[in-house]
Amino acid sequence: MNQIKAQVMDTLYVQVTTGAQRMINIASPRIGFYEWLAVSKVLFSGSLAQGSEVAKFENEFSRNVNGFKCIAVNSGTSGLHLSLLAAGIGPGDEVIVPSFSFAATANSVALTGATPVFADIELETFNIDPASIRQKITKKTRGIQVVHLFGLPANMGEIKKIAEEKNLLIFEDAAQAHLAKFKGQAVGTFGIAATFSFYPTKNMTSGEGGMIVTNSDAIEESCRLLRNQGMKKRYENEIIGFNNRMTDIHGSIGRVQLKRLISATEKRRKNAEFLSRNLEGVITPIEPDGYMHVYHQYTIRIPNIDRDSFTLELRKRGIETGVYYPTPIHQLPSFREQVDLPRTELASREVVSLPIHPSLSKRDLMLIVDTVNRLVQAAT
């Protein structure tokens, strides 16, 4: 009976997302019967706060990160923040971060009282440039917060060398990189701690939430205390902490989504292969040898084309796009750092993300290719 219901729900989902809608969305979170069933079980159980579903989600997610310890929290941003605090990052410290990222990458550092120091990127990968990291190191530098942007791992070989030479901690912002690998090793397993996000548009979702990953007993213990008001036992607060817990409702959704993650990732990669093979006149994303890209976003560059006009015309033709990120973090009002990051600033002017999610049909992909190619040809 459940299988029949699931098939009906999936059929309705396809009808809603591909038949009734005229817009090919930039993201399409897939929530179906099994998520509904999992949430219903939690609701009927009467136990809604952090409990058995969260613990099971942590254990199951651990299989994707070499069996490392996993601590579920209420958001990816919380995960980044608690990881830094647990490692002792605080006032007087500097942590090197890319400026071409979502603000949470730097916000999490600033919230500890430490200073985010902005580095430039490799234009081809959009990831932090190891050479720029070296230039930014000072006596105050305690760590590097690496972002595996858009689902492509950063150059962890070179970054690990730098960290070992300079005695720096590595933190991984893997919010967009579920199942991504560098030289066969899962992202999230290279540093002292890593964080994945389960925001609705990510490669898998729990509705909202994040997962801290670490191989350190001390970091795990500290993060578990910090997320739960500083308590191991109720009302026996050992340290000052936060309410950053994940609910069992979110944990139950995450467990269902995790079962689909491998197949969804394979579909994203196939979609990316089709786009890269057929798009013309734009700079498509790369996957260097030894890297496994999971394509949270399929981000192209369009040099010498007016981006606003380009994206507007795509929207008129039923294709939604995204610009990640139009303003580098160092230029946001919250930071406004005077720093020279030419490749970061160039990327912010040229990038456009096209739909890549697993719910795209062959017809959707062909329409994206045909429309982009026509617009690029007309613009050049």
For residue 14, pLDDT over 80 is answered with no
Q: What is the pLDDT of residues 259-288, one digit of tens each?
A: 999 999 999 999 999 999 999 999 999 999
Do 207 and 323 reside in the same domain of the chain? no
Q: Are residues 166 and 301 in the same domain?
A: no
Same domain as 40, residue 20: no
Q: Please, what is the end-to-end C-alpha distance for the chain in angstroms?
A: 56
C-alpha 186/C-alpha 181 separation (Å) is 4
User: Is the distance from CB of 194 to CB of 60 less than 8 angstroms?
Assistant: no
Last residue of a domain, one of 254, 287, 303: 254
User: Which spans in 87-198 are helix H?
Assistant: 104-110, 130-136, 156-166
pLDDT of 308 over the 70 cut: yes
pLDDT of residue 146: 98
pLDDT at 311: 98
Domain containing residue 10: 2-26+261-379
For residues 13-41, average pLDDT: 78
Q: What is the model's pLDDT at position 48?
A: 81
* Strand ranges (E), 198-278: 210-214
| Residues 12 and 110 occupy one common structural domain | no
Sheet containing 115-119: which strands, arranged edge to edge? 69-73, 210-214, 193-197, 169-173, 141-147, 94-98, 115-119
Check whether residue 75 and residue 214 sit in a common domain.
Answer: yes
| Same domain membership, residue 107 and residue 15 | no
Q: How high is the pLDDT of residue 236?
A: 87
Cα-to-chain-centroid distance, residue 205? 11
**Same-domain status, 246 and 308:** no
* 327-365 per-position pLDDT tens digit: 999 999 999 989 999 999 999 999 999 999 999 999 999
Domain identity same for 90 and 150: yes
Determine the average pLDDT of the residues in 113-134. 98
Residues of the chain with pLDDT > 70, as a percent, come to: 94
Q: What is the largest CA-CA distance in the chain?
A: 67
Asked if 17 and 118 sit in the same domain, the reply is no
Output the pLDDT for position 46. 81
The set of long-range contacts for 329-333, using a CB threshold of 8 Å and a minimum separation of 24, is 329/97, 329/99, 329/100, 329/101, 329/103, 329/105, 329/106, 329/116, 329/118, 330/99, 330/118, 331/99, 332/103
Domain closes at, from 254, 273, 290: 254
DSSP conformation class of 353? E
Least confident of 20-29, 36-45, 65-74: 20-29
Determine the pLDDT at residue 234. Answer: 87
Residues 133, 119 contacting (CB under 8 angstroms): yes
Percent of the chain having pLDDT more than 90? Answer: 89
Considering the domain architecture, whether residues 197 and 267 belong to the same structural domain is answered as no
Indicate which CATH number applies to the domain containing 315. 3.90.1150.10
- Backbone φ, ψ for residue 304 (5° rounding): 65, 20
Examine the pLDDT at 12 and tell me if it is beyond 80: no
Domain count, the chain: 2
Residue 312's pLDDT is: 98
CB neighbour list of residue 18: distance below 8 Å, 6 or more residues apart? 359, 361, 364
Whole-model pTM: value is 0.93
Residue 310 DSSP SS3 = helix
Q: Are residues 163 and 226 in the same domain?
A: yes
Are 237 and 369 within one domain?
no
- For residue 105, the domain's CATH number is 3.40.640.10
pLDDT tens digits for 225-270?
999 999 988 888 999 999 999 999 999 999 999 999 999 999 999 9
